[in-house]
Amino acid sequence: VNADAPEQFHAVCPICRDRPGGPASLGVADDFASDPSGVRHGVLRCADPGCAAEFPVVDGLPIVRADARDFLAAAQGALRRRADLPDALERVLADTIDPGTREDLDRYYLSVYARDAYPGEGETSGIVALLDEVLTISGAPLVPGGAVLELGCGVGRACFELAARGQIRVVGIDANLPMLRCAAGVRDEGVARFGVRRAGVLYEPVERAHDSVGRERVELWCAEALDPPFAEGSFDTVLALNVLDCVASPVKLLQRASAMLRPGGRLMLTTPYDWTAGVTPMEAWLGGHSPRSDLAGDPASVLRDLLDPDAPGQTIDGLRQTAEKDRLPWSTRLHDRARLEYTVHAIVAEKTE
Ligand SMILES: C[S@@+](CC[C@H](N)C(=O)[O-])C[C@H]1O[C@@H](n2cnc3c(N)ncnc32)[C@H](O)[C@@H]1O
Ligand SMILES: [Zn+2]
């Protein structure tokens, strides 16, 4: 974390956010180890002495969540996972990871998203293609010098892409430490390291150089997309690429995205509406479960209506749709013999007030 990032992005304490008088700011309280890129290991602390909540910075990644204690308790394995073992030994140890465990799922998701974000020679990145689509339909260029927040940045490719294209203030937040670690490798060393799933539990370690301009300026924070730890109205652009269907409450994601935007700012979102009941309770799915409703359960129509202040029924305060494009192809590779083909809806909304 850059020492001035908390101030630059108006970081606030997620724990005392709802107190009377509003949330207090966060700042670097301890710097245990730093390098030219900023604080590598340290602590961010809430400025309100009555709260004084502490949030650790590990490997340059601040972990800033209202549930920091529980999150850290559950994330010990990922936090302390080492990256210094020889590949050959890594493979021997990796063989012993049981399918379906946290470690197994971590490496699986990392394989899926990192291989798309940092493809091999001659391959293109699906997420960059989606980013290009949503930037194109948004019509207006990004504000030079504007602040961008990416919700669910995963391995960070879109953040680095925007930094390379001149956005000087980009912060990506995600809940997944292994993905953020991979992103931090790109930011700090220009190298994406991950295992590519070949088949079953066979993973091949790869390193892909990704030395994009301005990568060192990207901030990567481990934070909750439904409660980003930043003051309201702090961002010109909020980006959410394929995360709407990964959160417990899609409506809350839209509400928080709206709250993060300054008037005139824009939300750029893509989604395949690929709901998973274990992640998003069925009642919270945008459509897709009620063919008898006016919108016939079509998720894209439900999202359009949420972003139309004049629509009857529930709408998202402060957001109005300005552009969309549907049926964009996006695919992910699961392993050497399987891929998933999605059809993605891209939508842009402007903050009206
Ligand atoms: C489908 S992946 C997309 C990643 C990236 N945007 C891309 O398209 O390559 C969804 C991402 O959202 C993150 N995510 C899911 N729920 C989240 C939450 N509640 N808060 C923060 N991140 C979350 C996941 O960890 C994952 O990295
Ligand atoms: Zn606080």
Concatenated DSSP letters of 272-292: -----TTTS-GGGSSSSS-TT
Pocket test for ligand 1, best of 115, 174, 244, 270 (most atoms within 8 A of CB): 174
Q: Which of 179, 155, 160, 183 is nearest to 170 (CA)?
A: 160
- Answer yes or no: is the C-beta of 176 below 6 A from any ligand 1 atom: yes
Tokens of 243: 């995360």
Distance CA 84, CA 174 (A): 24
User: E strands, the chain, where?
Assistant: 26-35, 38-46, 54-58, 61-62, 147-151, 169-174, 191-199, 202-209, 219-222, 235-241, 261-271, 319-335, 338-351
Q: How many CB atoms lie within 10 A of CB 281?
A: 11
Distance CA 315, CA 303 (A): 9
pLDDT at 181: 96
Q: Which of 1, 3, 45 is nearest to 24 (CA)?
A: 45
Mean pLDDT, consecutive 10-residue stretches, the chain (353 aa), reads 94 93 93 92 96 96 96 92 88 89 94 96 95 93 87 98 90 98 96 95 93 94 98 97 98 98 97 96 88 84 96 95 97 95 98 91
- Answer yes or no: is the C-beta of 117 below 6 A from any ligand 1 atom: yes
- Answer yes or no: is the C-beta of 149 below 6 A from any ligand 1 atom: no
Ligand nearest the Cα atom of residue 226: 1
Pocket test for ligand 1, best of 115, 182, 241, 243 (most atoms within 8 A of CB): 243
CB-neighbour burial class of residue 110 (10 A; exposed 0-12, middle 13-18, buried 19+) = buried
At residue 304, φ and ψ (nearest 5 deg) are -55, -45
Q: How many CB atoms lie within 10 A of CB 326?
A: 10
Residue nearest atom 27 in ligand 1 by C-alpha distance: 154
How many residues in the chain?
353
279 neighbors 253 (Cβ within 8 angstroms) = no
Query: Does this model's pTM top 0.85?
Result: yes
- Answer yes or no: is the C-beta of 225 below 6 A from any ligand 1 atom: yes
Pocket test for ligand 1, best of 127, 133, 246 (most atoms within 8 A of CB): 246
- Answer yes or no: is the C-beta of 64 below 6 A from any ligand 1 atom: no
Distance CA 54, CA 47 (A): 10
pLDDT at 142: 82
**Cα radius of gyration rounded to whole Å, the chain:** 20
Distance CA 39, CA 184 (A): 13
- CA 265 / ligand 1 centre spacing (Å): 22
Helix (H) or strand (E) holding 315: none
- CA 302 / ligand 1 centre spacing (Å): 22
Distance CA 219, CA 216 (A): 8
State the first-to-last Cα distance of the chain, in angstroms, to the nearest integer: 31
pLDDT at 175: 98
Collapse the DSSP code of 148 into the 3-class scheme (helix H, G, I; strand E, B; otherwise coil) and give the result. strand
Beta-sheet pairing, 261-271 with 147-151: unpaired
Q: What is the DSSP letter of 216?
A: G
Residue nearest atom 24 in ligand 1 by C-alpha distance: 152
Collapse the DSSP code of 78 into the 3-class scheme (helix H, G, I; strand E, B; otherwise coil) and give the result. helix
- Answer yes or no: is the C-beta of 147 below 6 A from any ligand 1 atom: no
pLDDT at 311: 93
Sign of the Cα torsion 34, 37, 39, 40 reads: negative
Ligand nearest the Cα atom of residue 63: 1
Distance CA 270, CA 76 (A): 32
Ligand nearest the Cα atom of residue 22: 2
pLDDT at 167: 80
